[in-house]
Amino acid sequence: MFERVKLKQIKDHIWLMNDNDEATGYLVVGSQKAVIIDTMNGYENVKEIAETLTSLPLIVVNTHGHPDHIYGNIYFDEVFIHPDDMALAQHFYQEPLFTEAIEQMKLKPAAFRPILSGEMINLGEIELEVYGVPGHTPGGICLLDRRDRILFTGDSIIEQTWMQLEESMPMEVFLHSLDALKGIRGEYDFILTGHSRDIEDASLYEDHRNAVKEVYEGKNEGDISYEWFGGTSKAHPYGIEPRRIVYK
């Protein structure tokens, strides 16, 4: 039925939605409500995908404001995002290719509603707690599912983090954000990122945080050039390929 988005069941109530290996979203189903975490690229109707798995009311959350996490918002009326990323997301809502495409589809992107660090999303028997992680973007968030011991991290804790973008925060800010998460490290065993293909061990947090610290401290002897669509940056490899922190 759906060509791009492939489903992988993580638990009996959690599904990973792989959008053509370009982005990843998640569906978490409680006893009363379900949440979609990131809506991916929007080429396929993520609402219809979710409705093949649950009939419960849907809450939608964007972990941050980049296109590959928000363009599927066109299938919903409202989506929650941290206020510090609203302007970024609205900017990408105005991209000509996007506006032309949704005009042809006779759709419009969801209205944004604020979600803040410390808020709880109650799904019934499952609660997700919001943690602000400014770094990759100003308003990046992680969501902690204590019952399943999973941290949903968007692009804030991920094998390959882009920190070279115009909207990315200084490395010192990012390191501080990651350090602030130390207090919950004992409450999750697994990580699901904004580009995961499967569930990942929580040790990614320590590896990622330590690599960010090395970049901040200028320990760049083994760093390499990194080509991307915006030009050439530097990359700090850590651990197994393709782990790296990309920076200006």
Which residue type does 112 have? F
* pLDDT at residue 229, rounded to an integer: 94
pTM summary value: 0.97
In a domain, 52, yes or no: yes
In a domain, 233, yes or no: no
Which residue type does 200 have? E
Whichever domain contains 202, its CATH number is 3.60.15.10
Mean pLDDT of the chain: 97
- Contact assessment for residue 37 and residue 28, using Cβ atoms and an 8 Å cutoff: yes
Q: DSSP class of residue 91?
A: H
* pLDDT at residue 99, rounded to an integer: 97
In a domain, 244, yes or no: no
Q: Looking at 2-145, which runs of residues are DSSP E strands?
A: 5-11, 14-19, 23-29, 34-37, 58-61, 78-81, 111-114, 120-122, 127-132, 141-145
The range of the structural domain enclosing residue 16 comes to: 5-220
Does residue 1 register a pLDDT over 80? no
* pLDDT at residue 109, rounded to an integer: 94
* pLDDT at residue 2, rounded to an integer: 87
The total number of residues written for the chain in this structure: 248
Q: What are phi and psi for residue 60, nearest 5 degrees?
A: -125, 130
In a domain, 135, yes or no: yes
* pLDDT at residue 76, rounded to an integer: 98
Does residue 241 register a pLDDT over 90? no
In a domain, 247, yes or no: no
Mean pLDDT for the stretch of residues 179-208? 98
Question: What would the pLDDT profile of 152-193 be if each residue is shown by its tens digit?
Answer: 999 999 999 999 999 999 999 999 999 999 999 999 999 999
- CA atoms of 117 and 130, how far apart (whole Å): 5
Instruction: Tell me the three state secondary structure of residue 7.
Output: strand
In a domain, 17, yes or no: yes
End-to-end CA separation in angstroms for the chain: 42
Identify the CA nearest to 22 among candidates 62, 73, 72, 68. Answer: 68
In a domain, 246, yes or no: no
* Strand partners of residue 150: 145, 190
How many Cβ atoms sit within 10 Å of the Cβ of residue 18? 19
Does residue 93 register a pLDDT over 80? yes
Mean pLDDT for the stretch of residues 60-67? 98
* Number of structural domains the chain divides into: 1
Question: What would the pLDDT profile of 96-148 be if each residue is shown by its tens digit?
Answer: 999 999 999 999 999 999 999 999 999 999 999 999 999 999 999 999 999 99
Q: Looking at 63-115, which runs of residues are DSSP E strands?
A: 78-81, 111-114
